[in-house]
Amino acid sequence: MHDDRSLVEGRLRRVLDERIRPAVYPEAVPLEVTVWHAPDEPVPVAEGLAARGEPIGAGERWGAPWGTSWFRVSGAVPQEWAGRTVEALLDLGFEAQMPGFQCEGLVYRPDGTPVKGLHPQNQWVRIGTPVTGGEEVRLHIEAASNPVVLGYPPFRPTPLGDKETAGREPQYTLGRMELAVFDEPVWQLVLDLEVLGELMAELPVESARRWEILRAVERALDTVDLQDVGGTARRARACLTDVLAAPATPSAHRISAVGHAHIDSAWLWPLRETVRKVARTAANMTALIDDEPDFVFAMSQAQQWAWVKEHRPEVWARVKKAVAGGRFVPAGGMWVEADTNMPGSEAMARQFVHGKRFFLDEFGVDNEEVWLPDTFGFAAGLPQIIRAAGARYLLTQKISWSRTNKFPHHTFRWEGIDGTRVFTHFPPVDTYNCAMRGAELAHAARNFREKGRARHSLAPTGFGDGGGGTTREMVARAARLRDLEGSPAVTWETPAAFFARAEAEYPDPPVWAGELYLELHRATLTSQAGTKRGNRRCEHLLREAELWAATAAVRTGFPYPYEELDRLWKTVLLHQFHDILPGSSIAWVHREARQTYARVARELEEIIGAAQRAPAGEGTRELVFNSAPHSRNGIPAGGAGTVRPAGRPAEPSPRPGGGFVLDNGLLRVEIDARGLVVSAHDLAADRETIAPGRAANLLQLHPDFPNMWDAWDVDEFYRNTVTDLTDADEVTVADDGVSVRVVRSFGASRVTQLLTLAPGERRLVIDTEADWHETEKFLKLAFPLDLHTERYASETQFGHFFRPTHANTSWDAAKFEACNHRFVHLAEPGWGVALVNDSTYGHDVTRTVRTCPDAGTTTTVRVSLLRAPRFPDPGTDQGVHRFRHALVPGADIGDAVREGWRLNLPERRLTGGRQVAPLVTVDQDAVVVTAVKLADDGSGDVVVRFHEAHGGRARATLTAGFPVSAVTATDLLERPLADTAAPRLEGDRITVRLRPFQLMTLRLRRA
């Protein structure tokens, strides 16, 4: 037989595009359209419905950037259409290939009832099936003219990312606004041919199944009358019945389809627009659930559910009904799909506390799965947080974006720093916007790494980011793929059902230990320094507010600010979303974030001040409050008292050759005439910190123009070019008389530093103020250390973990930029160095050959300070920034932990009448208390959360500073742990034993 395969396949493409798809709507009449443009921000629905508009027609421009326009469409169904299915086709000017990144609309009936969302792949509204003819049609559309920020070519700087700079030029051209007959047999034929054509293209050319499909498609195309597609569609479909009925092979891969719309809580749009994106999508999906009995939709991010409840009560009512029916599923159990690298320990815990509690309170649903398809890597401390929240499973897709190494598993157990493991799945379909296309499903089956041991995977199905979610076409494709020869078998299923099935099938999967590092988007650890500083500051202020409010409540009856703290926590958690905290959103988002952090900080400072004054009472004594988890200058952790003056910091003395020397008897620091630290000598250990011939506190400037994803990425070639900023405008004694002041100018920027050596401490504090006005540059602060070490420790949630300093393997080399929280620690046996910070996360560590005859290697730590990408925010990081770092020679890991907390929680001073005893004390420095608070249920119980922080076993005694009648070990939601024995309570003392990095939460009932 002659090979006519290409001929038939080409014929299929053309006939579908030019004849069959257009015949889905064979008859149409125009609708009358008026439009009213809201003057500024979105208006209430009632106001939009009542507004009087001006006529507008297809082809006319509308919609200033970030504007809202209310369209009213009206018409009548022709009498001759009686008995047929009719739909309104409402095209706002969509670009079909960009769902979620352009204009969107929500359709309402005249009484304000929401109907469904409008999106590029979902422009129809059902009028009747069948109609009687003559029906009056009137619909209102709340249309958002969100500009296309990520256009083509992509990653070009644009002013469209902020309403303040976007201008007023109309963005869209109105498309067809019509009533049309919907020919369902033709639509079904389109789906038959699409599914078979896509399947055929994925089968081997030599496969008999491919040729069977080809011949059936050919017969169907022969049957279709191209001048009467509607009249011949059913006969054409009959030609395909047999090939569509052939069952899948018993060994076929099994795919659990989960309806989904991954909606970034902010990204190329502001938070206020996400509120509306979620409402449009929820309206769409509840409508689809009503039409499709097998369809299941999962929505994550409790914050987004809360927005629907607050802002769109009519949509919320439909959502609640669909949840009760088990078809609209709360997923993930987190407040938002947060970044997991940078949030602190308590913040990461509270993501689950607030997310799970919302779903429990509203629906009685206790999620066991964590749903994070798009997060930029996963910190090594996360597994035990997941388990401590009562969850068991994790799903993400993003690791498939890694550029260097292909992750070896799709289903596995992930082990965290304390040994906790969670059952984890990476969908091999490699997208969280699956459209049920043949190429996607074939890729999932081929790509699945667990073949021979397991055969189930999950496919999040639907357009995200305001693209409207799952479409009826996707559901129709899935129905054809339920049991089809040559294809994976597809079933709609909830995430919980998938994980239960997958775990039962594969009870002993491989184990991956340590962080799940994304080999991409490394610059998100540095971009938008102001956002990151705001997050870090507010995390610590929240700790202080809870600690002192609980102390005041127990000691004096101070009214604990439950509602205020709940609201402020949720605000901070929202801004940890994986495009806000990572710095990858538009300018509008980060402008608002900085304002929000400032407001949150002001409120928390007021709570802290009032809570500290209550137990301190009236008086004239200067009291020092210590919020850190370790004692400081004689003040216990969580207490307040008076301290003896510690003396003045070491005063600078002239250094031969220029510069200054700081010497406090423990540490001798030499700062040369360039303002660089050329020596930091640990006098007790007689050990030099700085690598021979090198200088620390060295600012280094790199060009920074990645191949793509400007705010997200830093590519390794940035290291090829570096400028050491060694020229100083000033190296002088500061006005305080105890600090060395260093000023440098470069480009259009200026950096001022203060170097201070505190009395009685081996800690050189470096305060940096950068007035930054560079473009596409990367600023680092380097510390070459005279240490030979093959690994170093980075703090993460509830502990730390080790990364290599070498690049032996491609996996090691790919981690050329990594995340830490408050410290990194490097050590040789018996002696180490900590570098602590108050607001930075990105860093790199490299090894260098010593520049002296005895050879060997030294290790350089470089802190990432600032970047200047131009997309999506052209003004990223422009302006003044402040950082505080401390170099701590002679530090062991315990010193690193303690100094990190101290730098981030400075002492507070207040005039009062009495000392304040801690609510809880711990007799073991390795056990770090991260939260002291009152229980969320208002019972007055005191909740204490702590963990082992040094990486070893610990036995500790907690002593309560108030009468305790009972103690209970709980999960993060403060619920008793059924499988954990209560710690023994003897009087006011509780003894606990912890394994390395173990997290524990205790609930203390007040007697």
User: In 77-186, which ranges are E strands?
Assistant: 86-90, 104-108, 114-118, 124-128, 136-145, 172-173, 177-181
Residues near 842 by Cβ (< 8 Å), separated by ≥ 6?
522, 523, 525, 526, 817, 818, 819, 863, 864
Cis peptide before 130 (omega within 30 of 0): yes
Cβ–Cβ < 8 Å for 695, 784: yes
The CA radius of gyration of the chain, in Å to the nearest whole number, is 31
Q: Which amino acid would we find at residue 934?
A: L
Cβ–Cβ < 8 Å for 41, 110: no
CA distance linking residue 382 with residue 384, whole number of Å: 6
CA distance linking residue 271 with residue 104, whole number of Å: 15
Structure tokens at 727: 């020229």
CA distance linking residue 931 with residue 928, whole number of Å: 9
Q: Which long-range contacts (CB under 8 A, 24 or more apart) does 217-223 make?
A: 217/8, 217/12, 217/193, 218/8, 218/11, 220/189, 220/192, 220/193, 221/8, 221/11, 221/12, 221/15
Catalytic site residues? 374
Cβ–Cβ < 8 Å for 29, 74: no
Query: From residue 794, how far is each of 767, 825, 835 by CA, in Å?
Result: 21, 7, 10
Cβ–Cβ < 8 Å for 797, 381: yes
CA distance linking residue 243 with residue 321, whole number of Å: 38
Q: Which amino acid would we find at residue 559?
A: P
The residue assigned the tokens 């649903």 is 365
CA distance linking residue 825 with residue 407, whole number of Å: 28
Cβ–Cβ < 8 Å for 983, 1002: yes
Residues near 817 by Cβ (< 8 Å), separated by ≥ 6?
522, 523, 525, 714, 842, 843, 844, 864
Longest alpha-carbon distance in the chain:
103
Q: Which of 420, 488, 415 is nearest to 458 (CA)?
A: 488
The b-or-e profile of 969-1005 (16+ CB within 10 A means b, else e) is: bbbbbbeeeeeeeeeebeebebebebebbbbbbbbbb
The b-or-e profile of 87-108 (16+ CB within 10 A means b, else e) is: bbbbbbbbeeebbbbbbbbbbb
CA distance linking residue 120 with residue 886, whole number of Å: 52
Q: Are strands 421-425 and 393-395 parallel, antiparallel or unpaired?
A: parallel
The b-or-e profile of 858-871 (16+ CB within 10 A means b, else e) is: bbbbbbbbbbbbbb
Cβ–Cβ < 8 Å for 517, 814: yes
- Number of Cα atoms under 13 Å in the Cβ half of residue 69: 27
Structure tokens at 866: 């600032």
Q: Give me the DSSP letters along 265-304.
A: SSSSS-HHHHHHHHHHHHHHHHHHHHH-TT--EEE--HHH
Q: Which of 521, 513, 260, 256 is nearest to 409 (CA)?
A: 513
Burial environment of residue 796 by CB neighbours within 10 A (0 to 12, 13 to 18, 19 or more): buried
Handedness of CA 584, 585, 586, 590 (dihedral sign): negative
Residues near 165 by Cβ (< 8 Å), separated by ≥ 6?
159, 587
